Amino acid sequence: MHPIRLISFGYLHLPTGPDGSPAPPAADRIEDVRDRLRDPAAARDILDLDGHHPRVQHVVLNTPGARELLANLADYADLPTGPRRIAIGCAGGRHRACGLTEILAHEPRNRGRQVAVEHLHAHLPRVLKTPTGSRTTHPEQETPR
């Protein structure tokens, strides 16, 4: 079986396409979890962490709907003529997308697949929505609500 590439990304960091919408990375399946899974960044103790951290992965995995999504993606990755690339995107790419991608990588590996993981935006500062659009900031610069 061919190797599989798992990519995490943040929609708010993507360049826009000709129609003005974000242009996600090329993949056989693109999973947009922005509206599907609650943003774990609301858990203030993980703001300065990313999805590589076990605490973030625990929060993401215990978000309603996450386990079902991961099972579906693992089954999809295991199809005989299955995908070569799966991309998972959330708002900023730090928490949900990165954490899900890291967790997902274990299943195909456990089934004997070669898996390459690429995180496009996990290293970037958080992106916060403001009334005038989005801006990139460091968590310590955010004012408490």
The answer to whether residues 50 and 124 touch, using CB atoms and an 8 Å cutoff, is no
- Global confidence as pTM: 0.84
Helices in 15-53 by DSSP H: which ranges?
Answer: none
Look at 109 and 1; give whichever has higher pLDDT: 109
Determine the Cα–Cα distance for residues 4 and 95; give it in Å rounded to an integer: 22
| pLDDT for res 102 | 97
Contacts of 47 (CB under 8 A, 6+ apart): 41, 126, 139, 142
For the chain, helix (H) and strand (E) counts, in that order, are 3, 6
Dump pLDDT digits (tens) for 57-104: 999 999 999 999 999 999 999 888 878 999 999 999 999 999 999 999
Which residue pairs, CB below 8 angstroms and at least 24 apart, start in 39-43? 39/90, 39/91, 39/95, 39/96, 40/95, 40/96, 40/99, 41/92, 41/94, 41/95, 41/126
Domain boundaries, the chain: 4-141
